[in-house]
Amino acid sequence: QDAAKGEALFKQCQTCHRADKNMVGPALAGVVGRKAGTAPGFSYSPLNHAAGEAGLVWSQENVVEYLADPNAFLKKFLTDKGQADKATGSTKMTFKLANEQQRKDVAAYLATLK
């Protein structure tokens, strides 16, 4: 993975995200290593919030999976934790990144945002 390439790819994320402030999406500085659904002051969907409560902590690896299909990722996480009852509704993140190399690069860049 290449964080420099990821920085260029992050432009697509900036439609909704900034590192240091909430916009349409939550602030992403420090997201790698952070419990899901916990950017201060951001109003998350019940689905994203529930995944964090069920133990989801963002890592470079799981962000790579998440970006392929955020809804599917969060629902699978909850279902695997025995919380299929909470795997309902949709995430507010409607964006997907199909290209796996691009997902790896952007996740590597996120890990540099402290």
Is 17 annotated as ligand-binding? yes
Q: How far is the CB of 76 from ligand HEM (least distance, A)?
A: 15
How many residues of this chain bind ligand HEM (CB under 6 A)? 27
Instruction: Give, as ranges, the residues between 55 and 74 that touch ligand HEM (CB under 6 A).
Output: 58, 63, 67
**Of the two residues 40 and 82, which places its CB atom closer to ligand HEM in the complex?**
40
Taking the complex as a whole, the smallest distance from the CB of residue 82 to ligand HEM amounts, in Å, to: 20
Residue 88 beta carbon to ligand HEM: minimum distance, rounded to whole angstroms: 12
Q: Is 54 in the site for ligand HEM (CB under 6 A)?
A: no
d(CA 55, CA 105) in angstroms, rounded, equals 25
Question: Which ranges in the chain belong to alpha helices (H)?
Answer: 3-13, 46-53, 60-68, 70-80, 100-112
The number of beta carbons lying within 10 Å of the beta carbon of residue 91 is 20
Written as one letter, the residue type at 27 is A
User: In whole angstroms, what is the distance from residue 101 CA to residue 84 CA?
Assistant: 30
